[in-house]
Amino acid sequence: MFGRLVEAVKKRAIGLWHFGERIGAGLAEKTRLRHRVGEICFGMVFAGLIPLWFDPVCTPGFDAFTFPLLGSARMWPHLFTPLSYALPATILCVIGCFSWRRGWRTAVLWSIFFLFLLAVTFLLEISCWEPSWLRAAIDGGTDFQRCYKFEVVETLPDTVEGVPEQGLTGIVDGLFLRLGTGVAAISYGWYYFLFSLLLCFVAGFARFNFWPALKASFLPALAILVLCVGVQVWQPIYGELQIAAGSDAAAKGDLDAAIHHFRRAIAVDKWNRLQSGVYSRIGGVYEAQGQWDKPEYHLYRALRYSQAANIEQALFEWQEALPQAEGALSEVIRREIVNLTMVYGAQLYTRGQMGDAKRMMEIATTVWPQQLSGYYLDGMCYFELADYYKAIDRFKEALLHTSEPSLIADIRSCLGDCYFKLGDVETARRYYLASVAADNEHNFRGLKSLTETYYK
């Protein structure tokens, strides 16, 4: 049974390969000047650098010209990034195009290979080598989902659930899950770039017959690929091994060795510094040792209280942990405080406890001023409390933290609602028109509110 399945897959693969060869041969034969095929193909590869490669959901996306090569994450792209992915890609496209015109098939093949290696490096950078990009994407997806879920409670939905945040929410553990989440954070430009590379390879195969060059270059190319991938994934793999060793040592009662392994996992793999999982394990060991003055111990206790829905006690533990924490641990604690206060604040809002809900939102915006949803939900609380001027201030602050069209439309509609309540119908109408301009596809709320202003 298994043998027949392998044969069937093999036949399909050979069929697809021959189909690709026919496409490449047809493209080469039907073009009057064959060297123009190389210019077209490598031109398509270069064009793939222009669309977005990375989408952090709530803030502007990055193309290959603005995404730094092996650099740490930032939420907003810079106008000029000297060492970006576009720099080596452009050089390789020029080399490949020139080699095509000169008939240097080996140089063409190596140009395509290194361009492919660049695309693989991009995926591994955001998920393994520099996972702060993945953390930023997950934070953006979570931020969007908070605003969306909260907005749906009160109004007609303005967007389609599950599209903008692309599943970039929740806890991500394990190398394969990180790679899958990294793929979810990648935008359409990267896929177009890969498709153009495949087309370039097929056309080059039909034009030059790459078999001799492939035979000579296969082992060196494989060695380079393995080395490149290995350099970027060894840290996550080693980190997971250290976590497993620490758990085993804790189970055997060797608590000092367990802490050593967990600390090693944090030191080696940056992803473990950006989430609470390993810190919580350390806190559990500290509890067993009776070391109750450590920030990891308070983090461990806060997570347990959160799971038990004891919000006030969890907040107390977070407030105990934060002054003692430094560096990456401090950032993790602040992020967890925001997660807790935002979820609890939204629950209080739906119960009608606006004062307590507003207090939760203000804690979130104080602890993590970069996030959007705190300002948005805080503004909604002020609106329900009829403090429209403070609500306007909060909504305007929220506009500074996002570029996502559906969220901009929601916030502008909220501003329109505030001015409408204040009796300033003309200003309200301008905000409703701006809301419709930001998202005219699913913005039922903006259209409804705009219509109502003409019957005031």
* Domain residue extents for the chain: 31-236, 404-456
Dihedrals φ, ψ of 337, to 5°? -60, -45
Using DSSP's 3-state secondary structure scheme, residue 283 falls into: helix
* Across 91-105, 134-148, 425-439, least confident range: 134-148
| Other Cβ atoms within 10 Å of 16 Cβ, number | 10
Work out the pLDDT band at 117, boundaries 50, 70, 90.
Answer: very high
Distance CA 33, CA 11 (A): 34
Q: Rounded to 10 degrees, what is the CA torsion of 340, 342, 346, 349?
A: 100
Q: Which of 26-40, 225-239, 356-370, 399-413 has the highest mean pLDDT?
A: 225-239
**Weakest-pLDDT range from 5-9, 162-166, 180-184, 392-396:** 162-166
Instruction: Please enumerate, as own/partner, the contacts of 260-264 that have beta carbons within 8 Å and a separation of 24 or more.
Output: none
Under 8 Å CB-to-CB from 44, ≥6 apart: which residues? Answer: 196, 199, 200
pLDDT of residue 299: 93
pLDDT score for 265: 93
Nearby residues of 117 by Cβ (< 8 Å), 6 or more positions away: 224, 225, 228
The DSSP secondary-structure symbol of 68 reads B
What is the pLDDT averaged over residues 386-397? 92
Return the half-sphere exposure (C-beta side, CA atoms, 13 A cut-off) of residue 58: 30
Q: To the nearest whole number, what is the mean pLDDT of the chain?
A: 83
Q: 68 pairs with which residues across the strands?
A: 84
pLDDT of residue 442: 67
CB 313 within 8 A of CB 280: no
Task: Choose the weakest-confidence range: 123-132, 348-357, 385-394, 432-441.
Answer: 432-441
Using CB atoms within 10 A of its CB, is residue 190 exposed (0-12), middle (13-18) or buried (19+)? buried
Residues 6 or more apart in contact with residue 123 via CB below 8 angstroms: 179, 182, 183, 186, 190
The DSSP line for 165-209 is: TTT--S---SHHHHHHHHHHHB-HHHHHHHHHHHHHHHHHHHHH-
The pLDDT of residue 157: 44
Give the angle subtended at the CA of 365 by the CAs of 359 and 371, to the nearest 5°: 140
Q: Are 415 and 431 in contact (CB under 8 A)?
A: yes
Token representation of residue 39: 């210019």
Distance CA 244, CA 262 (A): 9
Q: What is the pLDDT of residue 391?
A: 93
Quote the pLDDT of residue 168: 53
Note the pLDDT of residue 118: 94
| 195-243 pLDDT, tens digit each | 999 988 888 887 777 788 788 888 999 999 999 999 989 999 999 999 9
CA distance 381 to 375: 10
Burial (Cβ within 10 Å: 0-12, 13-18, ≥19) of residue 399: middle
Q: State residue 166's pLDDT score.
A: 53
Tokens for 377?
A: 């939900």
Which pLDDT value is given to residue 455?
Answer: 64
CA nearest neighbour of 345 among 330, 367, 321:
367
Q: Which helix (H) or strand (E) holds 52?
A: strand 52-54
% residues pLDDT > 70 (the chain): 82
pLDDT band at 153 (very low <50, low <70, confident <90, very high): very low
The CA distance from 255 to 297, in Å, is: 14
CA distance 23 to 4: 29
